[in-house]
Amino acid sequence: MITFSKDFLWGAAASAPQTEGAALVDGKSPTVWDKWFELEPELFYEGVGPEQTSNTYYQYKEDVALMKKMALNSYRTSISWARILPDGRAVNVKAVQFYRDYFQEMKSNGIEPIINLFHFDMPWWLMEKGGWETRESIEAFAFYAQVVFEQFGDIIKKWTTFNEPLVHVECGYLGEAHYPKVVDFTRAIQVGYHTLLAHAMAVNRYKNSKYNDGEIGIILNLSPVYPKSTHVEDKKAAHITDLIYIRSFLDTVVHGYFPEELIQLFKTHQLLPKVEEEDKEIFQRNIVDFLGVNYYQPLRVQRPKKEQFPAQFPSAFASHYDWPNKKINPYRGWEIYPEGIYDLGMRLKNEYKNISWYVSENGMGVSEEERFLDESGVVQDSYRIDFLKEHLIMLQKAISEGSNCFGYHMWTFVDCWSWLNAYKNRYGFYRIDLENQFKRSEKASSLWLKQVIVENGFP
């Protein structure tokens, strides 16, 4: 029997911009996603934009009832900055009321809300000023954080600042999947640096807020990095990838400082961001209480390919390696490697002070999932049950060896809108029918996990 502790947090994860809908309702101002969709709707899968997310703004009571039915005891979502502070300064009373009611509804049903502040949804007014590239964004975020701690700190006892800060850096400044879709390593590093500083400032505001009896952390996507071989060049490629993609964020939020090796690397390539004297102390004094870890698949790398030179940083140090033994999710193309969750858990134990953490996202995206609907309208997602089982076995192994993990949240609860991919890949325990007033219907995995929660494990 694979068992978990009685107080283990079983839940699901989502975010405001991917679920709420009501994109410009009750005073909310546009985010980068609302605006980008308005400017280039053709970039979004099947032309579906952020207005058509899961309608949670109006249907949250129904969703909380379903969470309860599934026996979940926790749920992670985020607050929309542009809803709470439409112009960055004045508090939107209707938004405060909405979130208080929503969070209270969860609490009254025995579901602990874990609330995140930023899930890729930069308010448009701030983007127009340069977004995270500007130093001004740090104080703007700290102010927003302070407002939400004051408004909801009596209800919320587990906070996180950012979801996957690496992603808005990588997709927005080293790729073209997020706005402002530029490819510029110098700007990317400045954005990453300011994000980390904004995170530390928000932690500081929490520690100094009137309801500071809870905990605050951050959600990082920690894909373990595996080299192609034990050859020194492949190992070096993995080491540098880990330094840039993992340790840049992880060391800073847990230890309070950037790895010296990373600073030297950026220095050598004249990529050091602009910093100020006081920053060092801000990082040092504001380390996290816990971590959320998003894990989908590992990164596999090898020494850089010769033909890539002169290459763009960081491909000058590593290139992708297609592991021939990998098991693939045929419906999304991502690798399935449950051992990665164990490796992460053990690393947090051994190298990061055995910090308290939880799996804040893990899951299996499936395109055209309607093909698995049975006659009674239930999605028979046995592939997702297998996925869950395999990952929970590895998680439990890490816990039994001392890793300090307090919960598991699958991405996601009800199929949700996902950025440029819109509804292409479905992840939920519940299916959403967009043609039928956002109707929610069961998938077999929700019944399976309910049983696991009730029994605190599975055979």
Catalytic residues: 164, 361
Supply 20's token pair: 């709420």
Site string for ligand BGP, 149-168 (x = CB under 6 A): --------------xx--x-
Q: Identify the CA nearest to 413 among candidates 395, 433, 386, 432.
A: 432
Q: Which stretch binds ligand BGP (CB under 6 A): 48-56, 418-426, 433-441, 443-451?
A: 418-426
Q: Which of 365, 369, 403, 415 binds ligand BGP (CB under 6 A)?
A: 365
Q: Identify the CA nearest to 4 among candidates 354, 391, 351.
A: 391
Q: Which of 302, 425, 445, 446 binds ligand BGP (CB under 6 A)?
A: 425
132 versus 411: smaller Cβ distance to ligand BGP: 411
Regarding 404 and contact with ligand BGP (CB under 6 A), the answer is no
CB of 44 to ligand BGP, least distance (A): 12
CB of 361 to ligand BGP, least distance (A): 6
In Å, how far are 136, 145, 220, 251, 295 from 142, measured between CA atoms?
10, 5, 19, 21, 27
> How far from the centroid of its chain's Cα atoms is residue 9's Cα?
17
Instruction: Point out which residues pair with 74 in neighbouring strands.
Output: 11, 112
Q: Please enumerate in sequence order all residues whose Cβ is within 8 A of that of 324, keeping only pairs 6 or more positions apart, or say none.
A: none
163 versus 446: smaller Cβ distance to ligand BGP: 163
CB of 228 to ligand BGP, least distance (A): 25
Regarding 418 and contact with ligand BGP (CB under 6 A), the answer is yes
Restricting to residues 102-141, name those near ligand BGP by CB under 6 A. none
143 versus 334: smaller Cβ distance to ligand BGP: 334
Cβ-proximal residue to ligand BGP, closest one = 418
- Angle subtended at Cα 319 by Cα 315 and Cα 320, rounded to the nearest 5 degrees: 130
From the CA atom positions of the chain, what is the Rg in Å?
21
Q: Is the peptide bond prior to 310 cis by the omega test (within 30 degrees of 0)?
A: yes
CB of 418 to ligand BGP, least distance (A): 3
Sequential DSSP letters for 109-142: TT-EEEEEEESS--BHHHHTTTGGGSTHHHHHHH
421 versus 441: smaller Cβ distance to ligand BGP: 421
Q: Is the peptide bond prior to 273 cis by the omega test (within 30 degrees of 0)?
A: no
Report helix angle 185-207 to 165-173, nearest 10: 160
Burial class (CB in 10 A: 0-12, 13-18, 19+), 287: middle
What number of CA atoms fall less than 13 Å from residue 142's CA on the CB side?
Answer: 20
Restricting to residues 178-237, name those near ligand BGP by CB under 6 A. 221
Q: Which stretch binds ligand BGP (CB under 6 A): 121-129, 153-161, 345-353, 417-425?
A: 417-425
Site string for ligand BGP, 261-300 (x = CB under 6 A): ---------------------------------x------
302 versus 418: smaller Cβ distance to ligand BGP: 418
Supply 325's token pair: 């033994």
199 versus 303: smaller Cβ distance to ligand BGP: 199
CB of 14 to ligand BGP, least distance (A): 8
Tell me, by CB under 6 A, how many residues bind ligand BGP.
13
Q: Which of 102, 283, 411, 430 binds ligand BGP (CB under 6 A)?
A: 411
Residues that bind ligand BGP (CB under 6 A): 15, 18, 163-164, 167, 221, 294, 361, 365, 411, 418, 421, 425
